[in-house]
Structure 1
Amino acid sequence: MTPTGNVYLVSGVTDMRKSIDGLSLIVADTLEMDPFSQAWFIFCNRGRDKLKILFWDTNGFWLYYRRLEKGHFKWPVPKCNGAVHISKQQLQWLLSGLTLDNPKAHRPIFGLEV
């Protein structure tokens, strides 16, 4: 699956024992965002080797869980409490073990004309 809406990293550390109800409460109460939107919400544990992705799809929640057997996710250091908006490409980088500001990636070019 690929995100159809916005993608948000939830800053800081999340207790990975939380499931759909607990994570959706974090989205609603702490982030003051709508867990029933098309957005994907990404949570990470203290060891940065586990991720959970929560999103609403038509009539129910999806909860993806990823555990690395070796290595860590390049989870950004939180600059503030809340959520950090990232692009779909940055999500792919994160899941592939890269940083969000991958300097080797081609930067998008806008406003070109032929």
Structure 2
Amino acid sequence: MYLAAGYTDLRRGIDGLATMIRFRFQLDPYDKNTLFLFCGKRTNRIKGLLWEGDGFLLLYKRLDNGAFSWPRSAEEALEISSEQYAMLMQGLEIIPKHPIRPNNQRTSENRRRSIKRSRKSGFWLARYLL
């Protein structure tokens, strides 16, 4: 499964998406059982393209409520697992915005500093999670 990060013009059909896969991402759209996912500027809609061996299957999903959490930063195709796909369909982040750093027994001073930062930035609930 591949996810096209960034915006995609969802007016494109099968041929337009297959061309984008081949020339923009240098991937083979004819890879059997490989799903390519695209999201437009409206994050409640996605398209998928799948080669089944005898033809393409074009998928379209529109959420009534909510939005997909779609990575917008890079103009590349990201390979995702089936677990990440399930998370994406549930509206969860599949690529963390901030890397997780190891937590080596925080001292009370570090804890106080992070509480102050969280209050300053408006995340008052963070102090209850520490």
TM-score normalised by the chain length of structure 1? 0.78
Distance in 2 between the 1:88 and 1:72 partners? 19
Which ranges of structure 1 fall in alignment gaps of 5 or more residues? Answer: 1-6, 103-114
User: Counterparts of 1:34-113 in structure 2 under 5 Å?
Assistant: 34-38=28-32, 39-78=34-73, 80-101=74-95
Task: Deviation per CA, 1:11-39: give whole Å up to 9, x if none.
Answer: 11011111101100100110111000032
Which protein has the bigger helix share?
2
Alpha-carbon distance change, 12 to 101 in structure 1, aligned in 2, over 3 angstroms: closer
* Pick aligned residue for 2:4 from 3, 7, 10: 10
Which protein has the bigger strand share?
1
Task: Deviation per CA, 1:37-83: give whole Å up to 9, x if none.
Answer: 032110001121100010100100011100111211011232x3210
The share of aligned pairs that are identical, in percent, is 37
Which ranges of structure 2 fall in alignment gaps of 5 or more residues? Answer: 97-130
- Partner AA of 2:31 in structure 1: S
Distance in 1 between the 2:13 and 2:62 partners? 15
Distance in 1 between the 2:19 and 2:11 partners? 14
Alpha-carbon distance change, 10 to 62 in structure 1, aligned in 2, over 3 angstroms: same
Q: How many correspondences in the alignment?
A: 95
TM-score normalised by the chain length of structure 2? 0.69
Root mean square deviation of aligned Cα: 1.4
- Does 1 or 2 have the higher relative contact order (CA < 8 Å, sep 6+)? 1
